[in-house]
Amino acid sequence: MSTVDEARAWLAQDPDPETRAELEELLARVEAGDEAAASDLASRFAGRLQFGTAGLRGAIGAGPLRMNRVLVAQAAAGFARYLTAQGDGSAPTVVIGYDGRKNSDVFAQDSAELFQGAGLNAVLLPRRLPTPVLAFAVRHLRADAGVMVTASHNPPEDNGYKVYLGGADGGAQIVAPADAAIAAQIQAVADEGSVADLPRASDYRIADEDVVEAYIASTAAVAPAPASADGMRWTYTAMHGVGWETMRAVLERAGYPLPDLVERQIAPDASFPTVSFPNPEEPGAMDLSYEIAGRTDADFIIANDPDADRVAVAIPTSDGWRRLTGNDLGLLLGLRAARAAQGTPGASLACSLVSSPGLGAIAHRFGLDWHETLTGFKWISRAPGMVFGFEEALGYLVNPETVRDKDGISAAVAVLGLAAEARGRGATIAELLDELAAEIGHVASGQVSIRVEDVSIIARTMEELRADPPTAFGDADVERADDLLHPADGAPGGDILRYLLADGSRVIFRPSGTEPKLKAYLDVRGSSAADAQTRLTALEASVRAYLA
């Protein structure tokens, strides 16, 4: 079948007027001999978005390599078949949530209708809500599965489809082999014919507000406000996402003073008009919050990403604002959790293996177990005995008994608790970092990130690293190299290369799971904060030179 024939078959089953018009216009240009249009069409039909452990994620548009109602319908129908085959004969229950991105509500309603039409019990959350609320609802309602329609902090043109499993999986994101089994069912649906023929039903249930209320109550309980929180001045941004409504309810329940808001970013807006990339990690994304916090003399800033599963914190310095790294905040929250869990048999701290090994030092200091996992909370949330987990990409899990995924709202409450406790004894968040160094020594972490237009460059670079591994970075020799693609112990593997250096530093390479980036993660120790930073700067320079 030619690409044009494939496109016409796709067009015949597409229920969305916008993507139909987009594809019809593209086909007309192709038939008129437009070579650019032919190339565009080919790029949309050169395969399909692959369903994996991150579910689906991509740019909205027509065709199987874009996010659209046809692709989502195939995914929902395939997931329904998977759940039915795994069950005991009773109808599985699936909870569906959605954020404020373009088409999130449409994709969620389509999914609810298709789940219900396939004989499942579909429960749609009552409105656009943060991803952590959906993750909570899967456990709270004892559902068999959950779906969250979100692309988290991806660019504005993207959307995604994130899948959770209940039961023995405890409400965590899917991992292998479930991802491959679900993908096979989705492919079978796509191969069988038109999504217009899939059964739908509109008698799915809208979840009661009690579910949201239960999330608010459990999250407020993470760190109820002490008296020292009175008068605390802080700034908040939702990054044009869905975090503020739920965050405000949690703050009021927990008793914290409400923040000064970055008003231009507080309401959901799928176009993300004030940021080029709605991720607090990206340069410029928090500039508006710095302006507001500077005018109001804030003690600190808290930022959620658009679906509020991540959180960033910034603190004032003598020459502006400093955003804490994901590792800075992860170690502060890890220390908080370790103190609370000290003496608890089997309690552990967990982080992804690209996050700071300082968490292991904290665990050792307080007699807790420590687990390093593959990247992603689908792995971190499964660590035995975990009382706290984090990854350096601003993801934190402070309440694993109620949510089995990163949660930027509960983590924000934990940060407020730390800040209020410090305030009560005349200290700041900056001084909490000094106290952390006194506990475990001076550690510093950094990242070298290479963004590419052609993703094949990333695979080629990883192949070259494997074929000709580095023997040194700068003046530090590589003492040990680990290729984690196929671990010798039979554990799950990942496309990760880790190098342990003679001076105690560490360099890890891995492709990003959500963006066209090759990332290098760097960790060093020093005799002082200044020494650690000097070592980190030198290591960053040597890694950049190596990748040049």
d(CA 219, CA 129): 15
d(CA 183, CA 77): 11
R_g of the chain, CA atoms, integer Å:
24
Q: How confident is the model at residue 492 (pLDDT cuts 50, 70, 90)?
A: confident
Decide which of 89 and 143 is more confident. 143
- Helix, strand or coil for residue 421? helix
- For the CA atoms of 274, 277, 278, 279, the dihedral, rounded to the nearest 10 degrees, stands at -130
| pLDDT at 254 exceeding the cut of 80 | yes
Contact criterion met (CB below 8 Å) for 495 and 483 = no
Q: How confident is the model at residue 1 (pLDDT cuts 50, 70, 90)?
A: confident
End-to-end C-alpha distance for the chain, whole angstroms: 42
Sorted by sequence, the CB contacts under 8 Å of residue 73 that are 6+ apart come out as 110, 114, 195, 198
Region 158-181: mean pLDDT is 95
The answer for 376, left when phi > 0, alpha when psi is -120 to 50, beta otherwise, is left
Contact criterion met (CB below 8 Å) for 452 and 518 = yes
Span 396-434, pLDDT tens digits? 999 999 999 999 999 999 999 999 999 999 999 999 999
Contact criterion met (CB below 8 Å) for 190 and 74 = yes
Q: How many residues does the chain have?
A: 548
d(CA 266, CA 238): 5
Contact criterion met (CB below 8 Å) for 131 and 307 = yes
Contact criterion met (CB below 8 Å) for 331 and 362 = yes
Distances (CA, A) of 400 to 221, 481, 495: 13, 33, 27
What would the two tokens of residue 382 be?
């499964």
Region 106-131: mean pLDDT is 98
pTM exceeds cut of 0.85: yes
List the one residue out of 339, 387, 395 whose CA is nearest residue 362. 339
Region 445-462: mean pLDDT is 88
Give, for 251, the enclosing helix (H) or strand (E): helix 243-254
d(CA 85, CA 120): 12
d(CA 470, CA 539): 14
| pLDDT at 490 exceeding the cut of 90 | no
Alpha helices in 373-496 (DSSP H): 377-380, 408-424, 429-440, 456-467
d(CA 123, CA 115): 9
**What is 109-138 written as a DSSP string?**
HHHHHHHHHTT-EEEE-SS---HHHHHHHH
pLDDT at 106: 98
Between helix 429-440 and helix 358-365 the angle, nearest 10°, is 70
Distances (CA, A) of 389 to 21, 89, 363: 45, 35, 12
Region 380-387: mean pLDDT is 96
Between helix 408-424 and helix 243-254 the angle, nearest 10°, is 40
Region 352-373: mean pLDDT is 96
Q: In terms of DSSP bridges, do strands 348-352 and 311-317 run parallel, antiparallel, or are they unpaired?
A: unpaired
Average pLDDT, the chain: 95
- Domains for the chain: give ranges and CATH numbers: 50-207 (3.40.120.10), 213-323 (3.40.120.10), 326-440 (3.40.120.10), 442-547 (3.30.310.50)
Q: How confident is the model at residue 489 (pLDDT cuts 50, 70, 90)?
A: low
Region 75-92: mean pLDDT is 94
- Residue 152: active-site member: yes
Q: How confident is the model at residue 136 (pLDDT cuts 50, 70, 90)?
A: very high
- Helix, strand or coil for residue 234? strand
Contact criterion met (CB below 8 Å) for 283 and 449 = no
Residue of 104, 152, 218, 505 marked active site: 152
What would the two tokens of residue 442 be?
């001076």
d(CA 518, CA 446): 14
pLDDT at 453: 82
Span 297-340, pLDDT tens digits? 999 999 999 999 999 999 999 999 999 999 999 999 999 999 99
- For the CA atoms of 384, 363, 308, 77, the dihedral, rounded to the nearest 10 degrees, stands at -20
d(CA 52, CA 183): 7
